[in-house]
């Protein structure tokens, strides 16, 4: 039987380790996959904000400071 094509860009194994590092003893594959999907959505949203910030300053390259500012902006908007 062919292997299922992953629905996410982020592999499940690192997400599994992330969850275990947070204190979980056991993690189902579907649980890790669900968190991977959520993290990809958040990452994409922050990356879009960072892209807007880079373009606003006349750059095509997203720099660390764009990511930092985008994250702070996103966090402030979601958790005022």
pLDDT tens readout for residues 32-71: 999 999 999 999 999 999 999 999 999 999 999 999 999 9
Q: Which of 77, 74, 19 is nearest to 49 (CA)?
A: 74
**What count of other Cβ atoms lies within 10 Å of the Cβ of residue 68?**
13
| Rounded CA separation 73/75 (Å) | 5
Domains and their CATH numbers in the chain: 12-78 (1.10.20.10)
| Rounded CA separation 10/71 (Å) | 19
| Rounded CA separation 35/40 (Å) | 8
Is 44 in a helix, a strand, or coil? helix
Residue 3: band (very low, low, confident or very high) from pLDDT cuts 50, 70, 90: very low
pLDDT tens readout for residues 8-17: 899 999 999 9
């Amino acid at each position: 039987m062919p292997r299922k094509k992953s629905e996410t860009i982020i592999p499940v194994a690192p997400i599994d380790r992330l969850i275990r590092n947070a204190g979980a003893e056991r993690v189902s594959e579907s649980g890790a996959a669900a968190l991977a999907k959520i993290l990809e959505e958040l990452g994409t949203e922050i990356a879009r904000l960072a892209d807007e910030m880079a373009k606003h300053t006349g750059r095509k390259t997203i720099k660390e400071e764009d990511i930092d500012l985008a994250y702070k902006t996103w966090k402030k908007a979601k958790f005022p």
